[in-house]
Chain A
Amino acid sequence: MSILVGQQTKVLVQGITGRDGSFHTRQMLDYGTQVVAGVTPGKGGQEVEGVPVFDSVSEAVRQTQANCSVIYVPARFAVSAIEEAADASVELIVCITEGVPVLDMVPVYHSLRAREILLIGPNCPGVISPGKCKVGIMPGEIHLPGSVGVISRSGTLTYEIVHSLTTLGVGQSTCIGIGGDSIVGSGFMDLLAKFEADPDTDVVILVGEIGGDEEERTAEYVARHVSKPVVAFIVGHAAPPGKTMGHAGAIISGSSGTAASKTAAFEQVGVTVSRTLEDLAHAVKDRLGVQA
């Protein structure tokens, strides 16, 4: 098994006629993903890479029973695209688009939570369950089916980490890039809970970076709710002190937000924090050995 996406996932692509949308539709199809529909308002009736295009998400869902939407529309339309998918009762929405205004995300975040619709992103590489389904823009070939779950705030750094795992023969159950924005639909804790419940995931890797306090809060969550081994990797040790948002920012985050604070928070609850990619891959391999 895996989490979020698998063989049962039927994907619809919002923004399928755009440059990124059509290119990645081809890539997802090549990986074996069931891409069943595309949506671009005003372009219903066309086909892209053999995939039928509809004018609206609700029509596409009605005709194809799509249960997952991936969004490649320009930033200024991304929030309404998310809302449209949510209103059509799509179970999982993956928003690749970067540059989404953050205040627009505030009401959407809460309304999707209330309806128990999962959103990954915005500003993320997407989700892949190796060998089964790829929903996003990550290079499929670096992945290997296996039992390591990966949750990351980064894009290319995740590829680098997955590549080093695969090189060591360590496969992945599902890899998720949660996105780099201040407000993203799903965080470390949401997805850790899913990996904890997934019988085919044995170890989880968390890839964090400077800014915010999600890693610090996740460390507490791991201590209380996660029985599976967790290994963390935090980047930004060499970064200059971040640009804080006046006093209000300092008041909210206090001393959290630095790579050192995040590393300390994880280490305090017994989560190994690796400093190099080699160490990370080996730490994961060691824990898999113990599990087996």
Chain B
Amino acid sequence: MKIHEYQAKQLFKAQGIAVCPGELAVTVDQVRSIAETLEGRCAVKAQVHTGGRGKAGGIKLAQNPEEAADLAGQIFGMSIRGHVVKKVWIEQAAHIDQEAYLSVTLDRSVKKMVFICSSEGGVDIEQVADKTPEKITKFYTADKTFPAAEARAAAEALFEGPDHADDVLEVMRQIFSLALETDASLVEINPLVLTKEGRVLALDGKMTFDDNALFRHPEIAALRDMDEENANEVTAKEKGLSFVQLDGNIGCMVNGAGLAMGTMDQIQLAGGAPANFLDVGGSSSPEKVISAFRLILSNEKVKAILINIFGGITRCDDIAKGILESYRCLDIPVPVVVRLCGTNAREGLELLRDSSLIAAESLADGVQKSVKLAGS
């Protein structure tokens, strides 16, 4: 789960990491009155769950409250990589001397938590990593203890000039504690700045959390912003399904994420285009199948549906009952190709024998039939 910059900064502040004073606004008037309470220039920052906000024009510096209001007027409603801006964060502008990069995340290839830092922070950090990897320092921990010695060495090298290592080291400790306390898979500060006054500040903040651990962090789960999530994907999650909308016209209903991706690949190879990824998961109640049909059919582009079930825990006769129930309570205006295999497949196919469904003998057969029916 992702959260907004302003939410990350609230967590930073609670952890003792210095941030600029600021407030959240949803209207231009709010922007103006917040700006009036701040000293000097202020930054107006679009709050959306995507990177590249600055380059897209979603972050602007205002000289005075009136300009802040004008700029916010341009930023509200702007679409940044498909995310429409509904909230902006207004904060007092810092007097930046140097910008660095600092994060802690999980490195899945070595199965350790990794600190990543660079004295060249800012918007081009990925280029720095790509072109001059020697400017990126990484150090690891495998047992939830803070790697103090390596952190100290990295902290000393982060900013030039007189001693700020203690402050940087403290921020490293704080983001590490924050990650452990909240099950964050990423805590990123880019840039971490040294101000002309000699303070170390988090000028931006990004955090991502492990969905599997949200059950023990209700206060983090409450930070979820439904505006940032695809409505269908949220509905799917509530129903115990996993769903991602795509651009094609063949609706897919499959059990298991790997098989669902495999089914999409096979459709594409056969010249078709999948309309969605949909994993009905392990258990297979008729209600889930009905919800899956509803989701698939909410997309008007869908011209055919391919149901591919390989029964293991999932029983094919349960799926078949769900399909029949769906025909009873929903209007299904497109052809449906069904391939059932594995646990209770024979019973499932028997149940579907008198229906108008098109049975497929194998995945390849099902793919061919659905591609042909969708006319793609």
Contact = CB atoms under 8 A, between A and B. Distances in A.
A54 B190 CA distance: 52
Contact of B268 (A125, A237, A250): A237
Interface stretch (A32-40, A57-65, A275-283): A275-283
A103 B214 CA distance: 12
- Of B126, B143, B255, B310, most A-chain CB atoms within 10 Å: B310
Contacts of A180: 257-258
A76 B126 CA distance: 36
B136 interface: yes
A240 B261 CA distance: 10
B269 A155 contact: no
Contacts of A277: 262, 266, 363-364
A101 B212 CA distance: 5
Given A163-B310, A238-B265, A278 B364 contact: yes
A180 B259 CA distance: 12
B307 interface: no
Interface stretch (B13-21, B103-111, B154-162, B346-354): B103-111
Given A103-B183, A239-B261, A163 B341 contact: yes
B129 interface: yes
B113 A235 contact: no
A183 B111 contact: yes
B312 A154 contact: no
Contact of B103 (A102, A142, A247): A247
Interface in B292-312: 310-312
Interface residues of A, number: 59
B357 interface: no
A125 B310 CA distance: 13
Contact of B125 (A100, A235, A237, A247): A247
Contacts of A104: 213
A249 interface: yes
Contacts, number: 180
Nearest to B133: A251
Contacts of A245: 105, 185-186, 208
B136 A137 contact: no
Contact of B105 (A156, A209, A236, A252): A252
Interface string A205-222: 001011011100100000
A101 B312 contact: no
B126 A247 contact: yes
A254 to B, nearest CB: 8
A76 B108 contact: no
Interface in B84-132: 101, 103, 105-109, 111-114, 116, 125-126, 129-130
Contacts of B274: 238
A246 B208 contact: yes
Given A137-B312, A139-B312, A245-B105, A209 B258 contact: yes
B56 interface: no
Contact of A240 (B185, B246, B258, B341): B246
Given A137-B312, A250-B129, A183 B261 contact: no
A139 B342 contact: yes
A275 B216 CA distance: 41
Contacts of B185: 102-103, 245
A246 to B, nearest CB: 5
B243 interface: no
B116 A251 contact: yes
A251 B262 contact: no
A154 B277 CA distance: 15
Contact of B188 (A158, A207, A247): A247
Contact of B261 (A101, A209, A248): A209
Nearest to B309: A156
Contacts of B314: 156
B261 A106 contact: no
Contact of A236 (B246, B265, B364): B265
A31 interface: no
A239 B106 contact: no
A160 B142 contact: no
A188 B34 CA distance: 55
A109 B212 contact: no
A245 to B, nearest CB: 5
B180 interface: yes
A8 interface: no
A214 B208 contact: no
A217 B108 CA distance: 12
Given A154-B259, A163-B310, A238-B274, A248 B142 contact: no
Contacts of A157: 256, 258-259, 261-262
13 contacts: A75-B212, A103-B106, A103-B144, A103-B179, A106-B106, A152-B258, A155-B256, A157-B262, A207-B258, A237-B268, A247-B126, A251-B116, A276-B266
Interface of B: 51, 101, 103, 105-109, 111-114, 116, 125-126, 129-130, 136, 142-144, 179-180, 183, 185-186, 188, 190, 206, 208, 210, 212-213, 215-216, 244, 246, 254-259, 261-262, 264-269, 274, 277, 310-314, 341-343, 363-364
Interface of A: 75-76, 99-107, 109-111, 125, 137-139, 142, 152-160, 163, 180, 182-183, 207, 209-210, 212-214, 217, 235-240, 245-252, 254, 259, 275-278
